[in-house]
Amino acid sequence: MRKIKKNAKLAAHKLDAAGLALQFVSQQGIEMKVAPSAENIVEGDVKLILGLIWGLMRKFIRFSDDDSGPNPQEALLMWVNNQIASYNLPKVERFPGGFHNGMALCAVLHKHRPKLIDMDSLNPLDGPGNLRKAFVGAERYFDLEQFLTPEEFVKLDDKSMFIYVSEYFYGVARMRKFELAAKRITRLVDYTRVNDQMKEDFKAKAEALRLHLDRVMKILNDRAIDNTMAGARHKLAEFSNYKEKDKSEIAGQYLDVESFYNHLAMRLSDHKRPAYNPPHETSLPGLNDTFRQLELTEQERSVALRSELNRQIKLVQLSEHHAKLSVKFHAFSDIKTRYLNERETITTTNEASFHINTLNTFDDESKAFQEENDRSMKEISDNLQSEKYENISDVRNLESAVIDRFVQLCDLSAAKRLILDDHLARETFNEKFRLDDGQHVIICETITSFHGAKSAYLNVKESVNSVDEARSKLSELEACLIEVKEFESATVPGMKELGVKINDSVYQTEISSSHFANEKAALNGREVTVDAHFVELQDLYSAKLVILEDDMAREVFTLNVRLQNLNHIKSFESLSSWCNEKASYLNHKESVNSISDAQLHLSGLEAFVREKNDQLKHFVRNLQELGHEITFARYDNLSQWQFETPEEITQRESKVDDLFAELARLHVTKKDVLDDDLAREEFKAHVLLLNDRHVGSFNSISSWCDDKDAYLDTKEDIDSIADANLQISRLEEFCSDQRDAARHNVSLNKLGEEIRSSRYERLSVYVYEDPDSVLGRDNQIADRFSTLTEKTATKDQVLKDALDLEIRKEANRVRYATLAADLRRWVKATSESSADSHFGFTLAEVESFSDVLEKQDAELAQQAESKESGAQTVLDAGIALGVKENAYTEETPQSLAQSCVNLSNALSVRRNAYQTELQTQRDNDDLCKKFADEITTFSDSLTAQRTMFASSSDDLEVQLESVTAKHESKDEDDKLPSIEALQSEIDSRGITNNRHTFMSTQDVRVLLEQFKTFLFRKAKMLSEEIDQKKLKGLTLEQYAQIEDQFKQFDADSSGQLSPNEIKACLFSLGEEVSNKQVKKILNDFGNECKEELTEEGFKNFMIGVLGVSAALPEDITSGFKLINRGAEFATTERMDLLTDQDLDFITKTAPAKGDGWDYDAWVNEVFAR
């Protein structure tokens, strides 16, 4: 063939070249319905040119180098269906219909270039759309020109469709060397990724195991406790659960990690990769060391948990004893509460004092009981607190409740004390009120008596026959008034003050009250009566004063009339001897011994003067007038009187005397003498009246002293504090009265001094005739008061001594009652406490309690003797003081001695109980030791066997056989019944603490179950390792895929593949091989005749095809170089045959180079790990 001009531009040259090509087509015998001409080709007749291309394709397309395989259409359909097998599309059965919706073509493209088409976005019903995406994808993938439209595509016949689809086969084939290179890289990436992932998984598993071990170790090493019985049991349950589950899980994890590591090591070894050496802590030896440490920690943890449980049991028992003490106190409190809530009826201070002393005894007893109970409870609670007992709040609450209850008792006692103190104060008030009221009654009776005497005097109408008598009676009446007023001022203010005090004295509290309304009404009545008495005395005085003044006026009137009559007589007689008589009269000195005498003589003198004047002026007329006045004079008031002998008047009227001048001179002298006589007599009368008052006061005070002498000389019978206080109160009242009487004595002394110092001296002299009698009365009263003062001091001391004695006797009664009650309570509490004695939780504790028991018994016996002796000493002291009875207790020396005997009996019972408990503890300890020996032997045997199987270095198959045989054995199960029988005996005895071992039958059952689980997991691990060894690095999915492919192409089910079946199988996988290549496969992997491929041979061949071990680093590097068109570095754009995931894996680890990354360095690094 002649040379064709390249890059022809002239039409002649183009036509020449086209003609040469058409000539070659004709020579090859290519058939065409309409053959194109050279002009048609140069002019670009598309239809004729396509016909030419289709003729060439039908002539030269081949799928094998001989005719023995499947025909081209079948082979192409087989290839297509193999490509779309994983896309869940209908199988393509024929040309052309199976390709009309475009789904098969899109799937073929997506199979090799997933980035070109989004299969999820395709709709089988949208054929045109799918075809357009396929055309675009084919052009981008292997440069297939879009020379058809979807409408033209669906009109293709079967052969045209066959030719078109074959373009996909050859297009993919052209890209095969790129894809094979990419596949090798992908397999390397997948293998490396799997290895890396397996290392990461191993690391994660080992870390998880390590963390699990560390977490468990931390938990097991954590000795923190929550100090609860539930917590201790829960932690034991958790520990048992851990041994049943977590421990088995850890063992399983360990076997899983071990199996996984062996798988990874085998995979690396099979592919000649460096061995994987994790850090020691996550390596198998490191984990094994930790696992052994875990075993030791478990033992320590088991001991700690058992110890904690026993500690909690001890704490619970202590708490129960604490609760018993609380119940005991509440029982005591209930009894005392009933007493404290009882309300006594109290009507005297003696009763109040008795109940107060009884309450004091109760307080002492309650305080002693509470202190003992608190000490015992606090000792237990402090122990529980120091041990951080779980229910310490409940324990403290019980103590708080006891304290609150004691506070309630104290509050009730305080409330009762308030009531009793109120009773005592009220009764003291009542007694004081009665004393005051009695004193008020005495005063009122004295006033009434005084009123009786004075009213009797004031009611008497005396016979008054002269002015002197009238004057004397008026003086007596005036003295009576003075005495009444003095008596009133001496008694009534004090009585009124006492009355006000009594009326104002109201005992009123929130608890009780005393008003004495009736007594106060009587008091007010008495005071009204007293006021009425004094008003009556005033009225009687006024009435008697009127009468006496009337008497006086009458007597003065009478005297005047008689004087007038005398004057008349004298006037009459003076007619005969006027001068001599008057001279003799005026010269005569009369004897004056009374006021009336003086007044009478003065009146006579005044009459003389009048007479003289009258005689001088109107002698006769005056005489007549006087006579007339005398004759008709009449006194008519309260009494009547008139002149008895008026006839004498007429006789004397004729007698007058004219001697008036001489008489005037004598009158002056005589007048002075008579005035002196009157003044002296008036002074004397006043002194005598004072003396009468002095005598009255003396008699009144003497009578009072007689009464008080009798009181002070009386020896009262005192047998209680209240009696003593009552008598002292009465003595205080007496002292108050004595002070009032002393004021009267001062008045008496003043009155006596006034009498003794009184003196009249002028023309005559007068002093009281008997001053010594006045002084004697004053001295006598002073002596009486001095005696009373001495007797009062003596009586006061006697009463104080009596009070002190009664106080000491009462204190002795209370003290003895307190000591007796304390002994009785102490014996009862000690006896109850000894009955509740806890000798210990373990044999060692019970044995060590023997010394404590002896010491306690000796101390208690000594305390009992001391308490009994103390009570007897107080009793003897009371008898010496005169105590005959004790209202606070019924205890006797005999009853106290019996209490001590009861204590001795209680201690003897406790010693017997101790011996019983000691023998029980020894028997239990023997049983626990026997159990510990058997369970330890069994546990050690299981541990030794497990260690042997875990550390075996025999072949995997030999190990598997040994482990399986042991797993099926029942030797260990037969050893459990004996151990369980001993455990049952321990449980039936209630033993919770075995000092010889902390293991239980549950522990050995768990150990046995874990041992069996270990054997099962070990057998499973060994089986998996044997299987992994056979896979030679393939995954189970890849291995199953190889089996499926063999079955698919073993058309006659002969169990062997013929050469054609081998070619078809590889063609379906995208591998087109020659007969020569098939022969080499049969030589390497075929049967004995080397003519067919068995399933085992096929697996070994495919493991080589699919595995990574066949690919060398230089093969991978060449692939990178091919894909990157000879460049020394790779770029993401050229590596589009790889998935984004694979590219991402490479680019993250490959070093940068040029505009991309260094694939050579990456390959070397990958093969090195």
Q: What is the pLDDT of residues 149-161, one digit of tens each?
A: 999 999 988 878 8
Q: CB of 656 within 8 A of CB of 619?
A: yes
The pLDDT score that the predictor gives to residue 1108 is 45
DSSP secondary structure letters along 683-713: HHHHHHHHHHHHHHHHHHHHHHHHHHHHHHH
Same topology for domains 1-60 and 72-174, yes or no? yes
The mean pLDDT value for 25-50 works out to 77
For the ranges 508-522, 661-675, 1148-1162, which has the lowest average pLDDT?
A: 661-675
Neighbours of 294 (CB within 10 A): 20
Whether 479 shows a pLDDT value over 90: the answer reads no
Residue of 497, 503, 495, 489 lying closest to 529 (CA atoms): 495
The more confident residue out of 1037 and 303 is 303
* Residue 60, burial from CB neighbour count under 10 angstroms (0-12, 13-18, 19+): exposed
Backbone angles phi, psi at 515, to 5 degrees: -115, -25
* Residues sharing a CB contact under 8 Å with residue 696, sequence separation 6 or more, in sequence order: 483
The mean pLDDT value for 375-392 works out to 85
For the ranges 464-473, 864-873, 1072-1081, which has the lowest average pLDDT?
A: 1072-1081
Whether 33 shows a pLDDT value over 80: the answer reads no
Topology of 278-431 in CATH? Methane Monooxygenase Hydroxylase; Chain G, domain 1 (1.20.58)
The more confident residue out of 1044 and 545 is 545
Q: What is the pLDDT of residues 891-941, one digit of tens each?
A: 899 998 998 999 899 989 989 998 998 899 889 989 888 988 988 888 888
Q: How far apart are CA 238 and CA 1113, in angstroms?
A: 55
Domain extents in the chain: 1-60, 72-174, 278-431, 461-714
Alpha carbon distance, N-terminus to C-terminus of the chain: 59
The pLDDT score that the predictor gives to residue 131 is 93
Q: What is the mean pLDDT of the chain?
A: 81
DSSP secondary structure letters along 803-842: HHHHHHHHHHHHHHHHHHHHHHHHHHHHHHHHHT----SS
- C-alpha distances (whole Å) from 1046 to each of 60, 483, 1043, 1078 are 31, 161, 5, 16
Whether 134 shows a pLDDT value over 90: the answer reads yes
Q: Which two tokens stand for residue 1048?
A: 């698919």
Q: CB of 272 within 8 A of CB of 191?
A: no
Q: CB of 1098 within 8 A of CB of 1085?
A: yes
The mean pLDDT value for 298-305 works out to 79
Q: What is the pLDDT of residues 173-208, one digit of tens each?
A: 777 777 778 878 888 888 888 888 888 888 988 888
CATH 1.10.418.10 fits 1-60, yes or no: yes
Whether 1067 shows a pLDDT value over 70: the answer reads no
Q: What is the pLDDT of residues 747-779, one digit of tens each?
A: 888 888 888 888 888 888 888 888 898 889 889
The mean pLDDT value for 85-89 works out to 88
The pLDDT score that the predictor gives to residue 62 is 56
Tell whether omega for the bond before 96 is within 30 degrees of 0, i.e. cis.
yes
For the ranges 7-11, 235-239, 323-327, which has the lowest average pLDDT?
A: 7-11
As a dihedral over the C-alpha atoms of residue 366, residue 371, residue 373, residue 375, rounded to 10 degrees, the angle is 180
How many percent of the chain have pLDDT more than 90? 6
Whether 256 shows a pLDDT value over 80: the answer reads yes
Q: How far apart are CA 658 and CA 655, in angstroms?
A: 10
The matching CATH number, chosen from 3.40.1280.10, 1.10.10.60, 1.10.418.10, 3.40.440.10, for 72-174 is 1.10.418.10
DSSP secondary structure letters along 958-999: HHHHHHHHHHT--TTGGGHHHHHHHHHHHHHTT----TT---
Cα 110 vs. chain centroid, distance in angstroms?
75
The pLDDT score that the predictor gives to residue 97 is 86
The pLDDT score that the predictor gives to residue 1006 is 78
Helix/strand/coil for 590: coil
For the ranges 520-524, 866-870, 1017-1021, which has the lowest average pLDDT?
A: 1017-1021
The pLDDT score that the predictor gives to residue 127 is 92
* Residue 106, burial from CB neighbour count under 10 angstroms (0-12, 13-18, 19+): buried
Whether 513 shows a pLDDT value over 70: the answer reads yes
The pLDDT score that the predictor gives to residue 1069 is 59
Helix/strand/coil for 92: coil
The mean pLDDT value for 835-858 works out to 85
Q: What is the pLDDT of residues 558-601, one digit of tens each?
A: 777 777 777 666 666 665 566 677 677 778 877 878 777 777 77
The pLDDT score that the predictor gives to residue 199 is 87
Residue type, 852: V
